[in-house]
């Protein structure tokens, strides 16, 4: 399975900050925002990843991330000239995917949970259909909302409904089988002129192959796309790391625990971070913790 990290858009909800840089390069506590969805893809076991961004911002992502070798993975970069919807990612990546299954992670989504890796591996291993994840939110009208019947089976997904049928929002992480690019070519632009990911999910739902994993109280999901949510995400990461002593959204840590890199490579990465607390924690991890416990 391959992975796509979509980090495009103009970040208008964060202007004037994002008039100077990409939203996904803004700091969320001690790491750039893009590190959090990147860590999620690595946690899924995915090692071949395409990063999609705007022509103006793509050089900054290349400078930050390199070719992926320091994380034991491979990065490919592609341009999204205009933000024409999330499902456009599968058209941009179609040739690169070469008919393989794919996961899509949105560059401004932070997901953290104790048993998340188990759910991610199960979604990545599913041979057919699609898997999406849903969380309960207070303001479902801002998201794609999924409704369920009495047995828990997904009935319908509606993008930003005026009157939501439930408060379960589909979060920015999606797993699809090898048909996804072909299906994406059949999606028509919505009333707002975008290729909606909800319409793509609806195709899988109608054929009965969409799996919706509802994330419970033990999982946190933050969409860091507004000033308030950006601050909330930073506070969340700071709280977890300082009180529990565990890292959140560190691709270096995930790569080491997954066995993509060894202890010597992790020590090198920690030295590159200088005298930061993140560098200290990674050095300690390399010295005292075995690989393979993600």
What is the CB-side half-sphere exposure of residue 172 using CA atoms within 13 A? 26
**Chain-centre distance for alpha carbon 245:** 23
In whole angstroms, what is the distance from residue 170 CA to residue 174 CA? Answer: 9
Give the residue from 129, 176, 200 showing the smallest Cα distance to 3. Answer: 176
Q: Mapping DSSP to helix (H, G, I), strand (E, B) and coil, where does residue 172 land?
A: strand
Q: Decide if pLDDT at 53 tops 60.
A: yes
Give residue 289's pLDDT band: very low, low, confident or very high (50, 70, 90).
confident
Q: ω before 16 within 30° of 0 (cis)?
A: yes
Comparing 130 with 291, the larger pLDDT belongs to 130
pLDDT tens digit sequence for 123-140 = 999 999 999 999 999 989
State the residue for tokens 């690019």: 181
Q: How far is CA 282 from CA 19, 199, 245, 246, 250, in A?
A: 33, 41, 12, 10, 9
Residues 89 and 6 sit within 8 Å (Cβ to Cβ): yes
Q: What is the mean pLDDT of residues 65-82?
A: 97
For residue 293, the model assigns a pLDDT of 45
> CA 46, 289, 282: angle at the middle one, nearest 5?
70
Check residues 204 and 290 and name the one with the higher pLDDT: 204
What is the pLDDT, as a whole number, of residue 217? 84
Nearest partner of 253 among 273, 269, 237, 236, judged by Cα = 269
Across 27-37, average pLDDT = 97
What is the band of 290 on the pLDDT scale with cuts at 50, 70, 90? low
Helices (H), the chain: 35-43, 58-65, 88-92, 94-97, 116-125, 180-184, 197-206, 227-244, 251-257, 263-272, 277-288
Q: State the pLDDT confidence band at 109, using cuts at 50, 70 and 90.
A: very high
Burial of 142 (0-12, 13-18, 19+ CB in 10 A): middle
CA distance 79 to 93: 10
Please name the helix (run of DSSP H) or strand (run of DSSP E) that holds residue 219, with its range, or none. Answer: strand 219-223
Are the beta carbons of 277 and 64 closer than 8 angstroms? no
The token pair that represents 124 in the structure block: 């990545």
What local confidence, expressed as pLDDT, does residue 294 receive? Answer: 45
| Tens-place pLDDT, residues 143-183 | 889 999 888 889 999 988 999 989 999 999 999 999 999 99
User: In percent, how much of the chain has pLDDT > 70?
Assistant: 98
Q: What was the pLDDT predicted at 136?
A: 93
pLDDT of res. 170: 95
Length of the chain counted residue by residue = 294
Q: What is the pLDDT of residue 291?
A: 57
Instruction: Render pLDDT for 202-214 as a digit per residue (tens, 0 to 9).
Output: 999 999 999 999 9
Dihedral angle over CA of 194, 195, 198, 199, nearest 10: 120
């Amino acid at each position: 399975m391959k992975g796509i990290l979509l980090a495009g858009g103009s970040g208008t909800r964060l202007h004037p900050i994002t008039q100077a840089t990409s939203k996904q390069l803004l700091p969320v506590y001690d790491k750039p925002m893009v590190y959090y969805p990147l860590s999620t893809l690595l946690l899924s076991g995915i090692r071949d990843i395409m990063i999609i961004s705007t022509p103006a911002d793509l050089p900054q992502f290349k400078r930050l991330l390199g070719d992926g070798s320091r994380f034991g993975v491979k990065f490919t970069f592609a341009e999204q000239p205009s933000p024409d919807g999330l499902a456009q990612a599968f058209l941009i990546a179609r040739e690169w995917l070469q008919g393989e299954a794919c996961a899509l992670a949105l560059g401004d989504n932070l997901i953290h949970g104790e048993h998340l890796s188990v759910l991610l591996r199960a979604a990545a291993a599913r041979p057919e259909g699609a898997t999406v994840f849903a969380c309960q939110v207070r303001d479902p009208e801002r998201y794609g909302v999924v409704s369920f019947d009495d047995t828990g089976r997904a009935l319908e997904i509606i993008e930003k409904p005026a009157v939501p049928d439930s408060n379960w929002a589909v979060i920015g992480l999606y797993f699809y089988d090898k048909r996804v690019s072909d299906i994406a070519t059949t999606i028509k632009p919505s009333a707002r002129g975008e290729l909606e990911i909800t319409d793509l999910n609806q195709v899988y739902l109608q054929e009965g192959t969409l799996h919706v994993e509802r994330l419970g109280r033990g999982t946190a999901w933050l969409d860091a796309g507004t000033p308030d949510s950006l601050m909330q995400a930073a506070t969340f990461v700071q709280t977890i790391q300082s009180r529990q002593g565990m890292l959140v959204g560190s691709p270096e840590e995930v790569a080491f625990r997954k066995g993509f890199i060894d202890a010597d490579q992790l020590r090198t990465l920690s030295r590159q971070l200088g005298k930061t607390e993140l560098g200290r924690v990674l050095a300690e991890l390399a010295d005292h913790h075995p690989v393979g416990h993600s």
